[in-house]
Amino acid sequence: TSGTTGRPRGCVLSHGNFMYEADTVMDRWEPVFHSRKGDQPATLLFLPLAHVFGRMVEVAGIRGKVRFGHQPRLDAAVLMPDLAAFRPTFVLAVPYVFEKVFDAARRKAEREGRSGPFERAVEVAVGYADAVEAKAWGIGPGPSASLRIQHRLFDKLVYAKIRDAMGGRIRHAMSGGSAMDRRLGLFFAGAGVHIYEGYGLTESTAAATANPPERTRYGTVGRPIPGVGVRLGDDGEIWLNGGTVFQGYLNDPRATDETLHDGWLATGDLGSLDEDGYLTLTGRKKEILVTSGGKSVSPGVLEERVRDHPLVNQCVVVGNDRPYVAALVTLDPEAVEHWLSMRGEPSLSPADLVRDAALEAEVRRAVVTANTLVSKAESIRTFRILAQPFTEENGLLTPSLKLKRRAIEKAYEKEVEALYRA
């Protein structure tokens, strides 16, 4: 397991688990591996092989005769040139990768003085994909004539360049590991790269649900893959069963008994199912904060919206047994450097950045926007900008870039305490 809420545990996955997962994915989603019908599928694998998502991609790719390149660093500065050089026909990634592609395109447009047209291209892509989605579900006529004309124009001016930055051949991608913002998924679909979001755990041999290519519902993690059952507990906890469910935790029968119940896996994740069986993630049971006033808060929705701001790299919401909710925020160094240069200001040291009034105002805007999604009792009252990002090297991120919450709160114990001083 990734170890986001505690010490990582070994999951016993059988050859049968991997073969069931690999063959099911290949049978149902194999068409998305191609840039065009009949070509040799190729992917650049940059997910860590110690993580089940990367391992499943490897096994399924070998089984499906996919040509592989491997980039062991999940770092945009290294990854983007390698995507352009290797030219994969599809990729399987975490949302971070698609966020970085989008942010790099936006910064490039701003440097070239084309921020206005770029933002218009974003709106057109989102509107176009939203209209296509609505038509697929029988609730709309599809893109209007005006929208189609604008979309064709921006495809030449903007979208093709984004696809070129990813190697030029990618038309499909799969995303997992954490939830993707619906708007980001719509943008890429409108730009000609359809991202099929899915959901799974180490305990389910990666994907348990995924969006089907013909009826994608952006903002959800799709329907159960063939042969997998999904149900919700009374508290909204997601339960899974089927051929992908693991055998148990290595040398830990107590944890196994707490998690497996007559073949059903209690995931610890919270979600909702719509009338068509599409799953939406709403949080994680172990991450729910309960303030000293008794208010339960799911941090994920707040953190994701704060991270939507281009200057923000990571956000961790705190407040368990505290009088109110607060947050620790880290910055994206490349985005901050770009922001300073566009303002004609010199580079600042990390220590000076956290005290910069204009930068603090930008982060505050992100927090205020996030707070519109929740009640006042659940809102972020105050925040602290940190000088250094959370990384795998400093023990605060998992290999798949998930936050190690307990480790972060311990490492920044003084900063958290300062957030609650009168």
- pLDDT tens, position by position, 8-37: 899 999 999 999 999 999 999 999 999 988
Long-range contacts, stretch 389-395, CB < 8 angstroms, 24+ apart: 389/313, 389/314, 389/330, 389/331, 389/333, 390/314, 390/316, 390/330
Number of Cβ within 10 Å of residue 83's Cβ equals: 23
222 in Cβ contact with 279 (< 8 Å): yes
User: What pLDDT score does 37 carry?
Assistant: 86
User: What pLDDT score does 401 carry?
Assistant: 82
Bridge pairing between strands 11-12 and 248-249: antiparallel
Q: What distance in Å separates the CA atoms of residue 199 and residue 221, rounded to the nearest whole number?
A: 6
Q: What distance in Å separates the CA atoms of residue 37 and residue 41, rounded to the nearest whole number?
A: 10
pLDDT-derived band at 379 (thresholds 50, 70, 90) equals very high
- Read off the pLDDT of each residue in 376-400 and give the average, rounded to a whole number: 92
User: What pLDDT score does 84 carry?
Assistant: 92
Map out the domains of the chain with their CATH numbers: 11-196 (3.40.50.980), 288-418 (3.30.300.30)
pLDDT-derived band at 48 (thresholds 50, 70, 90) equals confident
Q: What distance in Å separates the CA atoms of residue 402 and residue 394, rounded to the nearest whole number?
A: 13
pLDDT-derived band at 5 (thresholds 50, 70, 90) equals low
Quick check: 422 pLDDT over 80?
A: no
21 in Cβ contact with 206 (< 8 Å): yes
Q: What distance in Å separates the CA atoms of residue 346 and residue 336, rounded to the nearest whole number?
A: 11
Tokens for 110, please give them. 């701003």
Of 66, 23, 64, give the one whose Cα is nearest residue 41.
66
pLDDT-derived band at 130 (thresholds 50, 70, 90) equals very high
User: What pLDDT score does 332 carry?
Assistant: 93
Bridge pairing between strands 42-45 and 296-297: unpaired
Buried b (16+ CB within 10 A) or exposed e, 205-243: bbbbbbbeeeebbbbbbbbbbeebebeeeeeebbebbbb
- Read off the pLDDT of each residue in 322-351 and give the average, rounded to a whole number: 93
* Local structure of 409: helix, strand or coil: helix
User: What pLDDT score does 1 carry?
Assistant: 86
pLDDT-derived band at 56 (thresholds 50, 70, 90) equals very high
User: What pLDDT score does 7 carry?
Assistant: 78
H or E, element range at 395: none
User: What pLDDT score does 133 carry?
Assistant: 97
Q: What distance in Å separates the CA atoms of residue 324 and residue 377, rounded to the nearest whole number?
A: 7
Of 300, 301, 290, 299, give the one whose Cα is nearest residue 324.
290
Q: How many residues does the chain have?
A: 422
pLDDT-derived band at 340 (thresholds 50, 70, 90) equals very high
| 193-230: pLDDT as tens digits | 999 999 999 999 999 999 999 899 999 999 999 999 99
Residue corresponding to tokens 């016993």: 12
Q: Round to the nearest angstrom and report the end-to-end CA distance of the chain.
A: 39
To the nearest whole number, what is the mean pLDDT of the chain? 93
129 in Cβ contact with 190 (< 8 Å): yes
H or E, element range at 107: helix 95-111
- Read off the pLDDT of each residue in 345-367 and give the average, rounded to a whole number: 92
